[in-house]
Amino acid sequence: MQTTIESVSLATDLICSRCKQPYDIHQLHTFSPCCNKPFLVNYDLADAPEKEELKNRRQDMWRYQEFLPVFDAENIVTLGEGFTPVRLFENFKNVDIYLKDESYNPSGSFKARGIGMAVSKAKELGVTHCIVPTAGNAGSALAVFCAKAGIKATVVMPSHTPAIFIQECKLHGAEVILIDGLISDCGKKVAEMKLETGAFDVSTLKEPYRIEGKKTMGYEIAEQFNWQLPDVIVYPTGGGTGLIGIWKAFREMQQMGWIEGKLPRMVAVQSSACQPVVKTYASFTGQKNDYELPSASVANGLAVPFPFGMDLMMEVLTGSNGTAIALSEEEIISATIEAAQQKGTLMAPEGAAVWKATRKLIDAGWIKENEKALILNTGTGYKYLDNIILRQ
Ligand SMILES: *Cc1c(COP(=O)(O)O)cnc(C)c1O
């Protein structure tokens, strides 16, 4: 446990992800006023420690504290998030598929990483009330971390969100507001409410630090694979913080000389009910962008109709020679049931979608024999039992 208040963070400033203009990291920011784009945290990596120094550190995401933006360790709000296990899930047609299981996080999803970071920074910058539009898991995480921090939480969710998310948020003392619509409609409500209440909006990528929490998945993957990254990483994509964050971590580690050689090909997986990332990426290769107005998905976390971080996601997919694919709702439901019945693994539908997408990419020859693939199960299946059982 870090007790000193002397800062070990190497963060220097926030930069606009489009024009690279720097901004003061010691002030409260949302997104860049110059270009209306997400901010990215910049670090002075010249003073970085050697990777061997990580060995005896705490077993959570704060083991990477130099590369995280909290300056005073007393502001860290933590429930032990991160450092989740990786195991060999299956060998499919001579491809080893590894699973990093994020369901072990507090509040049952990897949202704990991003929101834990956002709440810690909010505390450091004097925020007393946070608000978020959510498909479920971000709201749970916000309720949980704000309870620990003593910060008021308001959570705005689609009314079709499984009841367990709503109950959980309420139990942790959050204010819950239900909206008839998708997460983009919840976002509109948040925009109104933050003007009325002065609450700080921690929406995906409109808040600069959630991505830094999600980035720790990239550091962990490198460490857990003994600094030899897998060939392919397959990620369930909604707002895209994980995709962008993992890639940011790889870039930082490359700069520090912690990893060498080719980086993994990154794959974004979506539902055909809502696939803006798949359609936008396909339009780069000359296909028509025939993205239709989306509907809800059984994989709640994937249904983000207009992600704010689209440009950054495209940079990751093109920069890594990656790809983006969508599965039908039926495929996602049957993959969740198959993982439960054939693998003894209760996944969130988002995670099951990724597993099935990986098999498809192997079948199609996009992932080749003897390559290694890593899939992320981003959340616990327990919260989705109603979604799955009712449709079986
Ligand atoms: C939010 C969420 C996602 C999507 O994550 P992004 O980083 O926003 O793309 C995927 N799976 C689950 C379970 C989620 O809660």
**Does 10 score more than 80 pLDDT?**
yes
Residue % of the chain over a pLDDT of 70: 98
So what's the pLDDT on residue 390?
A: 62
241 lines ligand 1 (CB under 6 A): yes
Q: Give me ligand 1 centre to Cα 179, in Å.
A: 20
**Does 1 score more than 60 pLDDT?**
no
Report the residue among 101, 109, 316 best suited for mutation to probe ligand 1: largest number of ligand atoms under 8 A from its CB.
109
**Does 377 score more than 50 pLDDT?**
yes
CATH architecture for the domain at 86-109+211-391: 3-Layer(aba) Sandwich (3.40)
Q: In this predicted model, what pLDDT tens digit does every residue of 329-355 receive, in sequence order?
A: 999 999 999 999 999 999 999 999 999
**Does 298 score more than 70 pLDDT?**
yes
If you count them, how many residues does the chain have? 392
Question: Based on C-alpha coordinates, what's the Rg of the chain?
Answer: 19
**Does 6 score more than 80 pLDDT?**
no
So what's the pLDDT on residue 330?
A: 95
So what's the pLDDT on residue 184?
A: 84
Q: Where are the beta strands (DSSP E) in 93-226?
A: 95-101, 129-133, 152-158, 175-179, 200-201
Instruction: Give the orientation angle of helix 111-124 with respect to helix 210-224, to 10 degrees.
Output: 130
Residue % of the chain over a pLDDT of 90: 88
CATH architecture for the domain at 111-201: 3-Layer(aba) Sandwich (3.40)
144 lines ligand 1 (CB under 6 A): no
So what's the pLDDT on residue 3?
A: 46
Q: How many other C-beta atoms are found inside a 10 Å radius of the C-beta of residue 168? A: 22
38 lines ligand 1 (CB under 6 A): no
pLDDT band at 41 (very low <50, low <70, confident <90, very high): very high
Q: In this structure, which residue's CA is closest to atom 8 in ligand 1? A: 239
Query: CA triplet 157, 159, 165: central angle to 5 degrees?
Result: 60
**Does 30 score more than 90 pLDDT?**
yes
So what's the pLDDT on residue 2?
A: 46
239 lines ligand 1 (CB under 6 A): yes
SS3 sequence of 80-118: CCCCCCEEEEEEECCEEEEEEEHHHCHHHECHHHHHHHH
242 lines ligand 1 (CB under 6 A): yes
So what's the pLDDT on residue 348?
A: 96
- As a whole number of angstroms, the distance between CA 74 and CA 86 comes to 30
pLDDT band at 296 (very low <50, low <70, confident <90, very high): confident
Q: In this structure, which residue's CA is closest to atom 5 in ligand 1? A: 238
Residues 147-156: what's their mean pLDDT? 98
Q: In this predicted model, what pLDDT tens digit does every residue of 176-225 receive, in sequence order?
A: 999 998 888 999 999 999 999 999 999 989 999 999 999 999 999 999 99
Q: Give me ligand 1 centre to Cα 135, in Å.
A: 9
Mean pLDDT of the chain: 94
Tokens of 164: 């367990």
378 lines ligand 1 (CB under 6 A): yes
Residues 46-58: what's their mean pLDDT? 93
Residues 107-127: what's their mean pLDDT? 98
- As a whole number of angstroms, the distance between CA 75 and CA 5 comes to 9
108 lines ligand 1 (CB under 6 A): no
- As a whole number of angstroms, the distance between CA 74 and CA 10 comes to 17
So what's the pLDDT on residue 267?
A: 98
Q: Give me ligand 1 centre to Cα 259, in Å.
A: 26
Q: In this structure, which residue's CA is closest to atom 2 in ligand 1? A: 301
So what's the pLDDT on residue 284?
A: 87
**Does 52 score more than 80 pLDDT?**
yes
Task: Single out the residue of 175, 118, 190, 176 nearest to residue 149, CA to CA.
Answer: 118
**Does 279 score more than 80 pLDDT?**
yes
**Does 131 score more than 50 pLDDT?**
yes
Q: Give me ligand 1 centre to Cα 237, in Å.
A: 6
240 lines ligand 1 (CB under 6 A): yes
Counting atoms of ligand 1 from 1, which one is nearest the CA of 379? 13
Q: Give me ligand 1 centre to Cα 173, in Å.
A: 23
